[in-house]
């Protein structure tokens, strides 16, 4: 019998991927009693950011790379359908 080949562990995928239109977002989990404290996150130069509490991954929508407008993208997460 041969020994099994050991491979590097694959990173776990994010529990939820949310497409957003702003590089600045806020996440409070699922909200209410089952959520977590609201945290404000910024992507910086990356096309995504992950919440340190619930591991949701917020991904910048295609075509949303232009200048941000605070009136259109106030940085508040509004649900699983994006921003």
State the CATH number of the domain containing residue 51: 2.60.260.40
Tens of pLDDT, residue by residue over 30-41, are: 777 778 898 999
In a domain, 3, yes or no: no
| Residue 50: per-residue pLDDT | 94
| Residue 82: per-residue pLDDT | 44
Tens of pLDDT, residue by residue over 3-48, are: 555 555 555 666 789 898 888 888 988 777 778 898 999 999 999 9
Beta strand residue intervals within 15-69, DSSP E? 17-20, 24-27, 39-42, 48-50, 57-60
Structural domain boundaries, residue 53: 21-60
> Which residues on neighbouring strands pair with residue 57, listed in sequence order?
17, 50
In a domain, 42, yes or no: yes
The total domain count for the chain is: 1
């Amino acid at each position: 019998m041969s020994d099994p080949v050991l491979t590097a562990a694959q990173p776990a995928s994010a529990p939820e991927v949310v497409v957003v239109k702003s590089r600045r977002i806020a996440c409070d989990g699922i909200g209410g009693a089952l959520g977590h404290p609201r945290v404000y996150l910024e992507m910086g130069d990356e096309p995504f950011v992950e919440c340190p509490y619930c591991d949701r991954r917020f991904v910048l929508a295609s075509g949303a790379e232009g200048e941000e407008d605070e009136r259109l993208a106030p940085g508040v997460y509004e649900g699983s359908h994006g921003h």
